[in-house]
Amino acid sequence: MSRASTVAQVGAMFVVALIAWKALVVIGGYPVFILPPPDTVANRFVRAWIDGTFAPHFGA
């Protein structure tokens, strides 16, 4: 199996996992504090990265 094929498979599985996660949140009707949707998690990750919350945890 080539490296490009492996990277494509990993990328495809990541996308499938995100879609399944979002579907579980929407269909399951879970409250955000129990199972936040992936877009909320990604948004918070980016904000924490920008505001420096992660810096102490990376030895910066």
How many structural domains compose the chain? Answer: 1
* Entry pTM: 0.77
Domain of residue 14, residue span: 3-58
Q: Residue 60: its pLDDT value, please?
A: 58
Cα angle 31, 36, 38; round to 5: 145
- Residues 35/28, Cβ–Cβ less than 8 Å: yes
Q: How far apart are CA 36 and CA 44, in angstroms?
A: 11
The pLDDT > 90 percentage for the chain reads 78
Going 14 to 23 to 21 to 50, the CA torsion angle's sign is positive
Q: How far apart are CA 12 and CA 47, in angstroms?
A: 26
